[in-house]
Amino acid sequence: MTNIPTDLLRTLVAVVDLRSYTKAAISLGVTQPAVSAQIKRLQFLLRDDLFDRSTQGVSLAPHGELVVSYARRLLSINDQIMQIGGPSQVSEQIIRVGAPGDFVASMLSRTLAGFREQCPGVRLNVRVGTYEPLIRELRQGDIDLVVCLSATPPIDARHYWPEEMVWVRGKTVNVDLRQPIPLVSYGEKSLNRYIAVTALKNAGLESEDVFIGPSLLSLSGAVAAGLGVMVLARRRVEACGLVAWDNGPLPKLDKIYCGIYIREGGNRETLEQLADQIAGVMHPAPDGNMAAPDDIMPALNVLRAKNSVA
């Protein structure tokens, strides 16, 4: 009986998980022609076409889905056998994380640093972005895990929760409702500006952009200086040295939602564990504060055991 080389199966799984021959080649450290040649050789050995050629992109035929399912099992057993002989290098997994900048920067960074320390077999690659581009990259397989904000409840997030939004102002700032409300924000496509403008329009009020900045530090400075008002998650207000304008004349704001998403396919166990850790730290406790970092240590210890050499 013909034996199928495991490197051909790894190439197949990489192509399916990343939905691209080019991305699979990059992840495997080979050229795209090499990936194509390995897939052709595998199909020759199996005497069947694994992909549905009638559709665009990477789409498996029914037989191909069965082969990939068996391939994952075989590769898992192969990797377990390789660890039986004694101490060896822990297999490395790269997790690509996408998130908005200021809203989760400090919280997420601490969690990721702890995760990396406890799981030496994991490398992290973090990029900053906004909801639509990050979700698009997640769907395309360019990112493995995304933490992002949306105006409506997510339908496919592993975790999500609402965030109360409030107006913030400098300590001595007031506004004249007969004039356009001066707004401080990240810019036209930012969620905080969208929430602000929508609320003002629904209340029959006009607005104008007076300050657009790239970071929460710059926006907080503009608000504190009295240039305008801004929309911010309530639990971020105090940390920014600002004042929530709860009893002011501006309209009530809709909530937003923070969601944690993971890509389909591939090794989801580690992604799910990381997503659960992030949620454990970022999800508001009943008193509105963050969960204590110590609360996630048991999960970290479990992960460390799973990622350590037996």
Lookup result for tokens 């397989």: 141
Helices (H) and strands (E) in the chain, counts: 11, 10
CA-based nearest residue to 102, from 258, 215, 235, 186: 215
Tokens of 145: 């895990």
- Quickly state the pLDDT bin for 253 (edges 50, 70, 90): very high
CA distance 271 to 202: 40
CATH class of 6-82: mainly alpha
User: 29 pLDDT exceeds 90?
Assistant: no
Taking the mean position of all CA atoms in its chain, how far away is CA 8? 30
CA-based nearest residue to 113, from 92, 137, 129, 97: 97
- Quickly state the pLDDT bin for 15 (edges 50, 70, 90): confident
pLDDT at 184: 95
CATH 3.40.190.10 residue ranges in the chain? 93-159+257-307, 165-254
Name every residue whose Cβ is closer than 8 Å to that of residue 305 and which is 6 or more positions away in sequence: none
CA distance 232 to 230: 6
Is residue 129 left, alpha or beta, with left meaning phi > 0 and alpha meaning psi from -120 to 50? beta
Lookup result for tokens 């006009």: 206
For the chain, the average pLDDT equals 81
User: 123 pLDDT exceeds 90?
Assistant: no
Tokens of 225: 């200086």
CA distance 49 to 39: 10
pLDDT at 45: 87
CA distance 95 to 6: 23
Return the top range by mean pLDDT from 13-22, 49-58, 188-197: 188-197
User: 299 pLDDT exceeds 70?
Assistant: no
Helix, strand, coil % over all residues of the chain, rounded to 5: 45, 20, 35
User: 106 pLDDT exceeds 70?
Assistant: no
Tokens of 232: 């911010």
pLDDT at 286: 53
How much is the average pLDDT of 74-96?
Answer: 71
- Quickly state the pLDDT bin for 266 (edges 50, 70, 90): low
CATH code 3.40.190.10 for 165-254? yes
CATH for 93-159+257-307, options being 3.40.50.300, 3.40.50.720, 3.30.1300.10, 3.40.190.10? 3.40.190.10
How much is the average pLDDT of 7-30?
Answer: 84
Query: Which residue did the predictor score with more confidence, 18 or 285?
Result: 18
pLDDT at 21: 85
Q: Do the beta carbons of residue 192 and residue 254 sit within 8 Å?
A: no
Q: Do the beta carbons of residue 232 and residue 166 sit within 8 Å?
A: yes
pLDDT at 296: 35
pLDDT at 292: 37
pLDDT at 120: 75
